[in-house]
Structure 1
């Protein structure tokens, strides 16, 4: 059987695209692991923030908001961007970056929203729309919609080779051969490797390690605490069920694509940074994990057909914002892939096109 579209990767990017395609094409999802979502999707910090990823990503995040809210995937949280006296320009820059975007931001006194905040943290910008996002439910629902429309999911099927002959891709996977007219590269940290196997010039998608820890504090995490992010980029943290705290030092260490694990140094750095923000005592480090966030050279995602190799479509470089942008990004990618359907409102497809790289190379 020749499928219309083979999507390499069944994490959030691949699953959401398969769901957006629906019954308009015969789709097969090819997943290297024994179950989808083991890497970036399954290790998400699980929040939705319109400012996360900057102005280049915000249109996709904002356009995804109504779908996520109506589907019941978002729970109110709020985000407080904080800074020291030396960060005044960063607060101004944050507000200027999103002026006119429709994102609601306002200056606040951070001490009124974070009990135990140390006095040197004097700048605060409030982002009320920030929310928890139910990543597992969203991913599972995308997969269910895709399967309901006829998509096939092939697991334990790492791509070994790919060749295009007579307008058809012949894919060799660990689960056996697959034939498709179009290949979609939604392989996350492995995106450049997949491209190379297909004889496509890699873009320069680079995976970076991001460390997360779950803490128990004394006193317990205050009720009503928002998501808190350092304007200078040194950390963010957010409350979790049972009075726990999820914390990251906002690290970005380049890595080869792999099943990444946290480094003890990064865990220690995260705790040290938190202790410089609040006067809470760390009672226990209950969990630690790491995930890979994969960026294109300009840190914006990539959606579109390769400029040089026919039938090869990029759906990659989602960084740490692939989940929060999934509905709009999938709608955009499906419209470009099929040549039909509406673009998400406020989203310029050229901003995310592959041509911005081929023109330089």
Structure 2
């Protein structure tokens, strides 16, 4: 069988685009692991907040909100974008950056901050409250999108680790060992391996680089309120989220550039995460219960890449989402599907086009 589209990568980006395409075309998802979503999608500290990634990402996040709310994937929780004395000016800069957008931000001082985070360290002098943020059930979203895809007749090939791609007779021939498929268009949704897939296809890589992000689940010395806001440092040195009872997820907000692989946490990053949590809250960490790491992949300008390669026919990029791939996936998939099907996209596609790197 010759497919219209071969989507390489079964994480949230690939699954979402495939779900949008399947009612209109024949589509196969090629997943290297035995389970789709094993790497970035399955390891994200999933949260939906519109300020993450800047204004160009924000419009995709905001546009994804109705889909995610309607599906029951969002559970409201405020975000506190907190600042220490040395980074206080970042609060005003952040508020200015999102002025004129639908993002609802309220700047507060130390006294108001203590109402939301009573144990805030003395060095935390204020925050921006992000009103409309929410916990995001990524596992349910990913499963639902794969379910939509299969219900529309889509095919998922797991353990399909692509090792050869060639162009011939107007088709792409994609192989994994002795298994092979043919498709008219390749959708490169391979996450941290996006440039590797491009290279196999003879397409110039874009410089999409994976970065390690560490998450630690700890148990602290007090029970925390269920509505404690998601708290993130505007200077980018930590974030944490209460998980119920005395459990907290915390990250040192690390972004170490690495080769694409099955990444694991570094003990130093775990120690930094614990130290930042204790320093910023005064809570004492009684135990590290879990620790893991995932990959966030960025294009050189840190803006996602959606669109046909300007030089190679039938090769489409859906990559470089950084840490925003899950929260933007409904709108990004709609954008990509429109471009792939020759329809009018719901947004101006130019800022995301891979052509921006060809000049």
* TM-score interval for Structure 1 and Structure 2 normalised by the shorter chain: over 0.9
Q: Equivalent residue for 2:15?
A: 15
Q: Equivalent residue for 2:4?
A: 4
Distance 1:281 1:222 in 2: 16
Distance 1:353 1:119 in 2: 45
Q: Over residues 306-343 of structure 1, what are the superposed CA-to-partner deviations in whole Å (9 max), with x where a residue is unaligned?
A: 01110000000010000000000000000011112x53
Q: Equivalent residue for 2:248?
A: 245
Partner secondary structure for residue 322 of structure 2 = coil
Q: Over residues 12-36 of structure 1, what are the superposed CA-to-partner deviations in whole Å (9 max), with x where a residue is unaligned?
A: 0000001111321100000000010
Partner secondary structure for residue 277 of structure 1 = helix
TM-score (norm 1): 0.97
Q: Over residues 51-79 of structure 1, what are the superposed CA-to-partner deviations in whole Å (9 max), with x where a residue is unaligned?
A: 01111210000000010001100001110
Q: Does 2:65 match 1:65? A: yes
Q: Equivalent residue for 2:271?
A: 268
Q: 1:241, CA displacement in angstroms?
A: 3.6
Q: 1:144, CA displacement in angstroms?
A: 0.5
Distance 1:222 1:150 in 2: 45
Q: Equivalent residue for 1:38?
A: 38
Partner secondary structure for residue 281 of structure 2 = coil
Q: Does 2:294 match 1:288? A: no
In 1, are the aligned partners of 2:335 and 2:345 still within 8 Å (CA)?
yes
Distance 1:319 1:350 in 2: 19
In 2, are the aligned partners of 1:154 and 1:175 still within 8 Å (CA)?
no
CA RMSD of aligned residues (A): 1.0
In 1, are the aligned partners of 2:218 and 2:247 still within 8 Å (CA)?
yes
Q: Equivalent residue for 2:127?
A: 124
Partner secondary structure for residue 59 of structure 1 = helix
Give the 3 Å change call, closer, same or farther, for CA 175–102 of structure 1 in structure 2: farther
Q: Does 2:209 match 1:206? A: yes
Q: Equivalent residue for 2:259?
A: 256
Q: Equivalent residue for 2:89?
A: 89
Give the 3 Å change call, closer, same or farther, for CA 243–152 of structure 1 in structure 2: same
Distance 1:242 1:349 in 2: 44
Q: Equivalent residue for 2:306?
A: 303
Q: Equivalent residue for 2:341?
A: 338
Distance 1:175 1:143 in 2: 25
Alignment of 1:126-165 (within 5 A): 126-165=129-168
Distance 2:212 2:255 in 1: 5
Instruction: Give the ranges of 4+ consecutive aligned residues of structure 1 lying more than 3 Å apart after TM superposition.
Output: none
Q: Does 2:216 match 1:222? A: no
Q: Which consecutive residues of structure 1, in runs of 5 or more, have no partner in the other structure?
A: none
Q: 1:242, CA displacement in angstroms?
A: 4.2
Partner secondary structure for residue 200 of structure 1 = coil
Partner secondary structure for residue 285 of structure 1 = strand
Q: Over residues 227-285 of structure 1, what are the superposed CA-to-partner deviations in whole Å (9 max), with x where a residue is unaligned?
A: 00001110111111444111000000011110000000000011111122111111111
Q: 1:175, CA displacement in angstroms?
A: 6.2
TM-score (norm 2): 0.97
Q: Equivalent residue for 1:193?
A: 196
Q: Which consecutive residues of structure 2, in runs of 5 or more, have no partner in the other structure?
A: none
Q: 1:168, CA displacement in angstroms?
A: 0.4
Partner secondary structure for residue 248 of structure 2 = strand
Give the aligned length. 356
Distance 1:215 1:257 in 2: 27
Distance 2:237 2:167 in 1: 45
